[in-house]
C-alpha cells in the first residue's frame, strides 16, 4: 500500500517538474525571440544606416531557426518535440519580423530611390500572415458551430431530432466544454449520441484529473433525452476511462458492438475495433426501422453497411483545410479526403456524416484549426417519401 502511494507521489512530482520545465522552456523561448523583436524595433526607431541587409538576414534566419530551436530544446530536455511551441513562435514573432523587414526595406535606396513595391507587398503578406495565425490559433479553436442535416425517410412516421457530437478531446475541461454541453442541451434533442475521444492528456499520469474535471462538467450539464443518451469509446481512452467520464450521468456507454431498437429506429454502436475495421457489420434482424450506425472512426464506412445513416468523428475534419482542396491530413489511413468532414452519399445510398469534433489534437501537436471550425450536428429525421436529404 505504501509502495503504491509512494509511486503515485513520485508520478505527481515528475508531472509537476515536467510542467514547470515546459513552462520555463516556453518562457525562455519567447524571451529570446522578444529580445530580437526589441532589437529590430530599435533598429526601426533609430534608423540605422545601410545595415538593412543584416536585419533582413537576421529576420530570415530567426524565422527558419524558431521551430528548430523549439524542437531542439523540447527534445533535449523533455524527450519529445513541441510542435505547438514552434507554431506559436512562428505565428507571433514571425509576423513581427516580416513587418519589421518591410519597414527596414522601405528605407533602403536603390539608385538613389527608395524601394516601395517590394516592402508594401512584404508588409501586406505580414498582415495576412498575422490574420491567418490569429484565426488558426485564437479564433477558430473555440468558434464552435452547430451544423444541420435534414434526413427524410419513409421508414418513420414521427420526426426525431438527434444531436451527434464527437472528439471533445480536452486536456483540461473548463469554460469551453461547459459552453459546448450547454449548446447541446439547448437543442432539446430526442436522442443524443457521443462519438468518442473525450480526453487527451500530455502524460498518462494526467488522465485521472482530466477525467474528474470533465465528469464534473458533464454532471452539471445533466444531459437528458427522451430516447436516451449514448456514447461509444474513442482511441484516446479505454472503456473503463469512458465509464468514469460519464459516471453519475444519464449517458449509457457502449464499449462493444451491439444493436438496439428505440422506437422506429435501430441503433448500432461499434466498438473502437469495429469502427476501424473495413468490413460490413451485418444486421440480420430484418424490419422496416430506420438504421443508424455510430462508430468513432469513419473507416468502417469504406465497406458497405446495413444502415441508412453512418455517424463518425476522429478526423477533426483534418483541423486544417486548404481552400478548394480540403484537409491534407485525415487522421485515418486510406480514408478519402472528401469523407473527412461533413456529409457524403455512399454508393449504396446511405449517408456518412463525419463531425469536425468539438475539441482538437492535444499534446505536442499544433493546436490549430484553419478553415475547419469545431462543430456538432443536429440531425432532423422527418417522415417524408421520395425526398432527398440535405445538410447545412
What's the per-residue H, E or C state across 289-304? CEEEEECCCHHHHHCC
Range ranked top by mean pLDDT from 62-66, 72-76, 94-98, 303-307:
303-307
Q: Is the pLDDT of residue 342 over 80?
A: yes
pLDDT above 90: percentage of residues in the chain: 51
Rounded average pLDDT over 249-257 = 95
**Predicted pLDDT of residue 69:** 63
Q: Is the pLDDT of residue 273 over 60?
A: yes
Q: Is the pLDDT of residue 169 over 60?
A: yes
Rounded average pLDDT over 208-228 = 94
Rounded average pLDDT over 71-93 = 67
Give the pTM: 0.82
Dihedral sign computed on CA atoms, order 6, 214, 162, 149:
negative
Range ranked top by mean pLDDT from 25-29, 89-93, 271-275:
271-275
pLDDT above 70: percentage of residues in the chain: 76
Tell me the pLDDT band of 51, cut-offs 50, 70 and 90.
low
**Predicted pLDDT of residue 65:** 62
Rounded average pLDDT over 171-196 = 95
Could you tell me which of 379, 302, 385 has the C-alpha nearest to residue 342? Answer: 379
Q: Is the pLDDT of residue 53 over 60?
A: no
Alpha-carbon gap, residue 108 to 273, rounded angstroms: 62
- Burial 133-166, CB ≥16 within 10 A → b, else e: bebbbeebbbebeebebbbbbeebeeebbbbbbb
**Predicted pLDDT of residue 6:** 39
Q: Would you tell me how many other CB atoms lie within 10 Å of the CB of residue 371?
A: 18
Rounded average pLDDT over 10-14 = 50
Q: SS in 3 state form for the chain?
A: CHHHHHHHHHHHHHHHHHHHHHHHHHHHHHHHHHHHHHHHHHHHHHCCCCCHHHHHHHHHHHHHHHHHHHHHHHHHHHCCCCHHHHHHHHHHHHHHHHHHHHHHHHCCEECCEECCHHHHHHHHHHHHHHHHHHHHHHHHHHCCEEEEEEEEECCCCCCEEEEEECCCCECCCCHHHHHHHHHHHCCCCCEEEECCCCECCCCHHHHHHHHHHHHHHHHHHCCCCCCCEEEECCCCCCHHHHHHHCCCCCEEEECCCEEEEECCEEEEECCHHHHHCCCCCCCCCCCCCEEEEECCCHHHHHCCCCCCEEEECCCHHHCECECCCECCCCCCCCCCHHHCCEEEECCCCCEEEECCCCCCCCCCCCCCCECCCCEEEEEEEEECCCCCCEEC
Q: Is the pLDDT of residue 90 over 60?
A: yes
State how beta strands 375-383 and 145-153 pair.
parallel
CATH architecture of 144-391: 4-Layer Sandwich (3.60)
Mean pLDDT of the chain: 83
Q: Which three cell numbers stand for residue 177?
A: 466544454
Tell me the pLDDT band of 118, cut-offs 50, 70 and 90.
confident
Rounded average pLDDT over 250-272 = 94
Tell me the pLDDT band of 286, cut-offs 50, 70 and 90.
confident
Domain boundaries, the chain: 2-139, 144-391
Q: Is the pLDDT of residue 251 over 80?
A: yes
Q: Is the pLDDT of residue 178 over 80?
A: yes
**Predicted pLDDT of residue 205:** 72
Tell me the pLDDT band of 152, cut-offs 50, 70 and 90.
very high
Amino acid at each position: 500500500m505504501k509502495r503504491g502511494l509512494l509511486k503515485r507521489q513520485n508520478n505527481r512530482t515528475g508531472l509537476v517538474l515536467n510542467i514547470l520545465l515546459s513552462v520555463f522552456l516556453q518562457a525562455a523561448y519567447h524571451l529570446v525571440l522578444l529580445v530580437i523583436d526589441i532589437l529590430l524595433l530599435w533598429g526601426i526607431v533609430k534608423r540605422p544606416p545601410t545595415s538593412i541587409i543584416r536585419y533582413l538576414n537576421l529576420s530570415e534566419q530567426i524565422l527558419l531557426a524558431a521551430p528548430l530551436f523549439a524542437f531542439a530544446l523540447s527534445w533535449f530536455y523533455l524527450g519529445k518535440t513541441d510542435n505547438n511551441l514552434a507554431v506559436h513562435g512562428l505565428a507571433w514573432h514571425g509576423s513581427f519580423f516580416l513587418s519589421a523587414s518591410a519597414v527596414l526595406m522601405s528605407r533602403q535606396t536603390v539608385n538613389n530611390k527608395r524601394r516601395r513595391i517590394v516592402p508594401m507587398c512584404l508588409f501586406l503578406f505580414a498582415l495576412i500572415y498575422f490574420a491567418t495565425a490569429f484565426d488558426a490559433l485564437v479564433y477558430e479553436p473555440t468558434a464552435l458551430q452547430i451544423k444541420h442535416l435534414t434526413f427524410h425517410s419513409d421508414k418513420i412516421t414521427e420526426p426525431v431530432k438527434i444531436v451527434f457530437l464527437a472528439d471533445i478531446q480536452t486536456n483540461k475541461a473548463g469554460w469551453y466544454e461547459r459552453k459546448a454541453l450547454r449548446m447541446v442541451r439547448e437543442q432539446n434533442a430526442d436522442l443524443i449520441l457521443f462519438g468518442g475521444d473525450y480526453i487527451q492528456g500530455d502524460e498518462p499520469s494526467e488522465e485521472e484529473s482530466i477525467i474528474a474535471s470533465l465528469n464534473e462538467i458533464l454532471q452539471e450539464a445533466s444531459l437528458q433525452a427522451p430516447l436516451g443518451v449514448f456514447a461509444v469509446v474513442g482511441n484516446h481512452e479505454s472503456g473503463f476511462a469512458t465509464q468514469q467520464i460519464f459516471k453519475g450521468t444519464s449517458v449509457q456507454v457502449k464499449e462493444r458492438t451491439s444493436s438496439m431498437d428505440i422506437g422506429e429506429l435501430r441503433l448500432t454502436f461499434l466498438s473502437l475495433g469495429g469502427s476501424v475495421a473495413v468490413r460490413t457489420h451485418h444486421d440480420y434482424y430484418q424490419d422496416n426501422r430506420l438504421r443508424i450506425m455510430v462508430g468513432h472512426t469513419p473507416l468502417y464506412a469504406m465497406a458497405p453497411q446495413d444502415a441508412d445513416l453512418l455517424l463518425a468523428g476522429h478526423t477533426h475534419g483534418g483541423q486544417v483545410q486548404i481552400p478548394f482542396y480540403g484537409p491534407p491530413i485525415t487522421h485515418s489511413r486510406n480514408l478519402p479526403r472528401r469523407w473527412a468532414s461533413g456529409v457524403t452519399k455512399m454508393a449504396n445510398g446511405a449517408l456518412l456524416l463525419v463531425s469536425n469534433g468539438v475539441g482538437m489534437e492535444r499534446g505536442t501537436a499544433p493546436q490549430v484549426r484553419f478553415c475547419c471550425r469545431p462543430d456538432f450536428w443536429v440531425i432532423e429525421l422527418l417522415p417524408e417519401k421520395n425526398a432527398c436529404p440535405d445538410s447545412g
